[in-house]
Structure 1
């Protein structure tokens, strides 16, 4: 799928930190990153020089993780690789409703807030949907599903490049899987995103074929392959 407005998705971290998430950013020179309690992601320009890498090192600190997300720039040779993960960037359909879901998108869905953070952190620790910290919920709206009062599924908004909102932290407790919670949550978020005239997108590990199949069923299409990389600053 080609979209003329999707160019901001080539640098979703940088575009978010320069725009909607400016209040959650820390900066030094042209290097930038999220506040550590919010997200680990950091960014540099498209063609960073040695001074810019030095700025990022000072910004994050010696021995800290430089989580470059999908940034293709090559860091200094003495930055030790920590992880590399192949993934897909997928974009959702235009309009308020993704593909078929078995129930109304908002059925059984509740909005989560600061009082829910301990449960959100516990669920994220159990299910490993990706980085999730004590202030990650400040990135956008987070929705959940409760079973007898216990949070068993959630999803939320993360990166916000112009015109787009990323759906992230999609996870369901093992004992609650197979009930359509993920589809309802993604659909409910997509409807909210469309209501403010934006479009949903997301990232998923290429190896997670089950999640990819779900997103395709909901109308998401692969835009491009991405590689997520992290490095330890010496």
Structure 2
């Protein structure tokens, strides 16, 4: 478990997410329209130069690692975001009561992008929906809350894009959708995980109350090819 979860991008793209990106030698990345995440097979400082050469586009990438490192040239570091990786340790198949959760499809992408742009739960692109299992809650025909799946290494599934419109906070929508994801992942015989910014104490507290525990620090490095 330690090796897989310490390097989730690598193990996701070498398992269930292999159709959504590319692996080249010891480098890997999702297609930009799916996710900006990238990774390397081994140690960050050893793999980052090869990743720079391997990626065939100039879009920014988010390098995900459990290592706190100084990013080497020729990469240009745009931001370094400390996070926590959390793993579900709560009751099996938790029940959740709430409003109807509607499966989200490509026809909902524009609303999903708008909601995630407003609430900023993490990167959400035009084809992020291809990770699958997205559900939403609607109010008067408008999408007001959602959650889904993202990285999917063997034996684990990451819950992602958990968000609620500011006008609908306090109604338990995020809790309801998150527990539905936990239940679905456990039904598939896998373990739910998620990632959260280290300074988001409110979200961490909510996740802990639902049965998640902090497993390790994880870092999100926003990088761009240095074209100066």
| TM-score over 0.5 for the pair | yes
Partner secondary structure for residue 34 of structure 2: coil
Structure 1 unaligned spans of 5+: none
The secondary structure found in structure 1 opposite 2:55 is helix
TM-score relative to the length of structure 2 = 0.90
SS of the aligned residue for 2:64 comes to coil
| Structure 2, gaps ≥5 residues long | none
Q: Are 2:34 and 1:34 aligned? A: no
Runs of 4 or more off by more than 6 Å in structure 1? 48-52
**Structure 1 segment 1-234 matched on structure 2, within 5 A:** 5-47=1-43, 53-61=49-57, 63-70=58-65, 72=67, 75-93=71-89, 96-98=92-94, 103-104=96-97, 107-234=99-226
Describe the superposition over 1:47-102 as per-residue Cα deviations: whole angstroms up to 9, x where unpaired: 368787245434243x432310225365432322111111111001266434xx7x
Q: C-alpha offsets along residues 190-209 of structure 1, whole Å, 9 cap, x if unaligned? A: 00000010010101111111
**Equivalences, count:** 225
Displacement, 1:27? 3.3
3-state DSSP of counterpart to 1:77: coil
SS of 1:229's equivalent?
A: strand
What is the root-mean-square deviation in Å for CA atoms of aligned residues? Answer: 2.1
Distance, in Å, in 1 between the alignment partners of 2:81 and 2:123 is: 13
Aligned partners of 1:71, 1:233: CA distance in 2, in Å? Answer: 22
Q: Is the 8 A contact 1:140 1:156 kept in 2?
A: yes
Question: CA offsets, 1:111-149, max 9 Å, x none?
Answer: 111111111011011111110001101112101111111
> Is the Cα contact below 8 Å between 2:156 and 2:191 reproduced in 1?
yes
